[in-house]
Amino acid sequence: MDWKTFLAPIALSLQIAVIASVLVFAVSLLIAWRMARARFYGKSILETLLLLPLVLPPTVVGFVLLVILGRRSWFGKFYESLFGGPILFTWESAVIAAAVVAFPLAYRSMKAGLQGVDPDLENAARAMGASEWQVFRYISVPLSSRSLTSGYLLGFCRGLGEFGATLMVAGNIPGRTQTIPTAIYVASDGGSMTLAWAWAGTMIVISFLMLLVSNRITKDS
């Protein structure tokens, strides 16, 4: 086995999953915080839109991203004007795909945790002169930290295993955009079952450990 060939998709997948999960954590936390206590007309419709990538086929998500990130879109043109090249078929587009599909899982977990915080504690802090940011930082986040951590881990695992949308917007370029899932697909399709099993085993071990930690955190909460 060529170790360079074996390790390249693993390193890239971990890089993409880490960056995507950090982005997802920040965005999910902010939106979940706002949505946990918010009451407004159309909230259910907005929340349904936020959770839509959870139930849509990956090819549909990939197609939408392909249109949004394409060279003819305003985002594609803006990105190309800044960096001198298209964002499609780069590892950055794989990060976006992973973040989009991972967001709903992280958001649901974080929102549930923030909703579980006793509102009387938050109101008491406000009555003592705390700003909304201070309430969020010193009351809401610490008391929901287990759910927030669990949401991050679930988002990480989902981003690590993303295949369909990633393949459509980032392709499968060895050493550039080839992740573990796409590498497994190509290896199994080409009959390289030993290499496919090695990558699959690596994915299983990483995902198992992350989910084990998430389950323990949830169980202890």
Which of 208, 159, 197 lies closest to 179, judged by CA? 159
Indicate the pTM of the whole model.
Answer: 0.90
> Tell me, what's the pLDDT at 1?
61
Length of the chain: 221
pLDDT at 221: 52
Sites in the chain below the pLDDT cut of 50: none
54 vs 49: CA distance, rounded Å? 10
Q: What is the pLDDT of residue 191?
A: 87
Question: Residue 4's pLDDT is what?
Answer: 83
Return the pLDDT at 215. Answer: 79
| Domains of the chain, each with CATH number or no CATH | 3-220 (1.10.3720.10)
